[in-house]
Amino acid sequence: MSGWAGTSGWAGTSGWAGTSGWAGTSGWAGTSKQTTMAEAVGELVRDGDTVAIEGFTHLICFAAGHEIIRQRKRDLTLARMTPDVIYDQMIGAGVARKLIFSWLGNPGVGSLHAVRRRIEQADPEPLEIEEYSHFGMVCRYVAGASNLPFFPIRSYYESDIPSVNPNIKPMASPYDDGTEVYVVPPLRPDVTIVHAQRATVTGDTQIWGLLGCQKEAAFAAERVIVVCEEVVDEAVIRRDPNRTVIPGVVVDAVVEQPFACHPSYAQGYYDRDNAFYLEWERISKDPEALERWLKEWVHGLEGHAEYVARMGERWEGLRAGERLSGEVNYGDYS
């Protein structure tokens, strides 16, 4: 694959500057929460935290994961409904001690080899794992967001997952003849990071296309970082309010970072880079190749703006065309 092993010689600067007035708190209504990725991760992601980077198929914020690697955060518990290549990169880089997950793999390709080495060979050290079904993870976030002590779920009936996860417990229903269900504990991340198409500086966040459990994971978290393709004026959000998935009241930091999902995609902005996922299979199988990739594409860069520039013309084949959604009449009652 071209582009991923070599360097392009790009010599520009990333152009990142701190945003004045950022409060780093979700509680100040009307205050701009816009900041840089480096500042958001540096302030809000702490060693030992439980960190959830959510997004389903698209809107997976690789740039945030890379910044966590770049800042050499350690002893993290990584939570994600479908951990894929970004968590393979983060675990291969040594940021995590534990993984909470449902399905995992390199989608459409195969295994996550850095994760497998940590689990199967304890190389370079063991990785603790805690496995659920997809719906089990969603229910854990819902319980965390709702301040519930547990959430009941029927779908573990005749499943083997409870046999490997003692946190999934059987419970007799108190309302009928004692029908047995299973319950899962709440998941309350210290930090949830979500990517979105657009947000305001105060954190009102709009998403369209495939939805995962971004909303639930955000409401369950102690701190929330929203990364978006573009920061827009409040009037843009008000014109289409039903797309607002996460309200600014729960958001601590807003980062405008175009192309932050690569090699994943952002609906309406750019496509999935399938070639990268195929190339990752080769890279991740070899610990030395993985280390070289991290050195060149993460540690060797100041930030994601350099990553984007280094990709050069590769972006041209990923840019999305235009297919506009319809309009509805909300009514003018003024």
Spatial contact of 52 and 193, defined as CB atoms under 8 Å apart: yes
Apex CA 207: angle with CA 205 and CA 212, to 5°? 115
Structure tokens, 331? 């009514």
Q: How far apart are CA 190 and CA 77, in angstroms?
A: 10
Residue bearing the bigger pLDDT, 7 or 287? 287
Residue bearing the bigger pLDDT, 233 or 312? 233
Q: Which residues contact residue 307 at a Cβ distance below 8 angstroms, ignoring those fewer than 6 apart?
A: 63, 66, 262, 297, 301
Query: What pLDDT is stored for residue 6 in this prediction?
Result: 37
CA nearest to 268, candidates 205, 194, 196: 196
pLDDT in tens, 55-77: 999 999 999 999 999 999 999 99
In the sheet that holds 180-184, the strands lie side by side as: 151-153, 180-184, 169-172
pLDDT category at 304 given cuts 50, 70, 90 is very high
Query: What pLDDT is stored for residue 225 in this prediction?
Result: 98
Query: What pLDDT is stored for residue 9 in this prediction?
Result: 33
pTM: 0.89
CA nearest to 272, candidates 110, 59, 86, 29: 59
Q: Kindly tell me if the per-residue pLDDT of 229 is higher than 90.
A: yes
Q: How far is CA 188 from CA 83, 133, 143, 220, 267, in A?
A: 17, 17, 9, 5, 28
